[in-house]
Amino acid sequence: MNISGLIITYNEEKNIQDVLKCFDFCDEIIIVDSYSTDNTLKIAQMHPKVKIIQNRFEDFTQQRNLALDNAQNDWVLFLDGDERITPQLRKEIIDELGKADKKDAYYFYRKFFFAGKPIRFSGTQSDKNFRLFRKSKARYVAEKKVHETLHVNGTIGVLKNKLLHFSVSDYKTYKEKMIHYGTLKGKELAAKGKNFNLLTQYIKTGFRFFQAYILRLGILDGKEGYQLCYLQSLSVFETYESLKRERDNK
């Protein structure tokens, strides 16, 4: 099957073995690595289909587009290190690509896990991303530094089976991740000429928690739901802290 498996990495030694298995039906695997300091690359190099490209990290969009540029095939399957394909989803992907009337890009819905516990609500119930697409018909939008946006110039489909998303291994790691995302988002806003406003920071932070915990039923996910919703709102708070730093440094 003419399809390239793509992944961007940084210190993914705990995930890389399992995520590479998800690419078993791909005829090449491209890894764009941000100079990992753990055993990520040592493990990856044991896989015969892997090609490794190291590139200094500036933002997620740049890394993803670099992976696209190095893929030999038009069809690509792009996964994150914490995502896993089920046997049912694997079969659906293969079946879909075998159709004469296939789309140019496909959304995958994701099933979210917090420290091994499945999360049903907290805003995750509508979580979906493009993971399978033709690179000739799609490109990540350069202005988006985090929560990358794929612009598709073609037809779009949605796969039925969900991708497993083990995004939160523990509270501390996810907190660091959310702060990092917030920092990048703040830089993105600064690049767009946005100004810092303290009232906006607190209103948007509070609303994000209310939206996820109450409106999106995070309260039904128990302790994990509260922690998840809190960290989502923390990311919003850090976005404006980052924006403030960027504007102050100009």
Q: pLDDT tens digits, residue range 99-137? A: 999 999 999 999 999 988 999 999 898 899 999 999 999
Q: What is the mean pLDDT of the chain?
A: 94
Domain of residue 188 covers: 170-248
For residues 202-231, average pLDDT: 96
User: Are 103 and 87 found together in one domain?
Assistant: yes
Residue 66 predicted with pLDDT over 80:
yes
| Boundary of a domain, candidates 139, 167, 195 | 167
Q: Return the structure tokens found at 2.
A: 């003419």
User: Are 11 and 97 found together in one domain?
Assistant: yes
Domain count, the chain: 2
Alpha helix positions (H), the chain: 16-21, 40-44, 60-70, 87-97, 171-191, 198-210, 222-248
User: Are 163 and 230 found together in one domain?
Assistant: no
Residue 1: pLDDT band with limits 50, 70, 90: low
pTM: 0.87
Rounded Cα–Cα distance for residues 225 and 81 (Å): 23
User: Are 140 and 73 found together in one domain?
Assistant: yes
Rounded Cα–Cα distance for residues 126 and 25 (Å): 28
For residues 71-83, average pLDDT: 97
Name residue, tokens 């540029």: 69
